[in-house]
Amino acid sequence: MQGLTEVLPVSSSAHLALVPWLLRWPEPAHRTTLAAGLHAGSCAGILLALRSDLPAPRTAALALATSAPAALAGLLAADAVEARFGGPQQVGVLLGLAGLALAAADRRPQTRAVGPREAAAAALAQVAALVPGVSRSGACLTALRCASVRREDAERFALLMSLPVTAGAAGLSLLRARPGAVRDLAHPLAVGVPAAAAAAWAGTRARAPRGGRPLTGAALYRLALAALVVRTARRRDRA
């Protein structure tokens, strides 16, 4: 699940939080460390899938440079933002609102390539993805399509742009993990990290020949999941 949702603009972090909650799975030990390992595996899978089709040096440098605002914001405020907006119902609502924004942005014409101005807009949008449910790639895609960037170019740049932040955040979480956390998670990580990498690799390769298709499907999926989460939360509140 994590590997596929890392590739799609549907918020992988929201799925890691919401799916166990919807299924009433028990809270796993060292949840943050486990999530960091899965994110790291997904990044490895995406990089492996893209290794034979690397972008031009200018595009790669632009994606790396414009990741800086989100990286800095995450370093300073990630824990506070997650504590404030990390409840299941809040995540569901934000998942749906971001889906509506993505659908509206995708109605724009496809007339532009990614330049410094468009990349700067995506960089600011990626900061918003600190809020669970927004999605790094989804926020970037929304900003780029608002700027009338062609879908295929926008999807590729959003994926490239999210990698440094995701990988950096995963690495930092693993470094900050409690003593013994990685050892305690040895078996889940041994299974989950390769699975996340394989799923991300397969998802990236599968999407490559389909670049340029409308983003309506991702937006509708987000809205459907958001509705399910909000309905479930209200039903449980009444129980």
pLDDT at res. 51: 79
Q: Could you tell me the residue ranges of all domains in the chain?
A: 2-238
The pLDDT value recorded for residue 74 is: 79
Please give the Cα distance from 55 to 114 (Å, whole number). 12
Cβ proximity of 197 and 44 under 8 Å: yes
Tens of pLDDT, residue by residue over 91-131, are 999 999 999 999 999 999 999 999 999 999 999 998 888 88
What's the pTM value of the predicted model, to 2 decimals?
Answer: 0.87
Query: Exposure pattern of 214-232 as b/e (b: 16+ CB <10 Å)?
Result: ebeebbeebbebbeebbeb
- What pLDDT shows up at residue 205? 85
How many C-beta neighbours within 10 Å does residue 132 have? 24
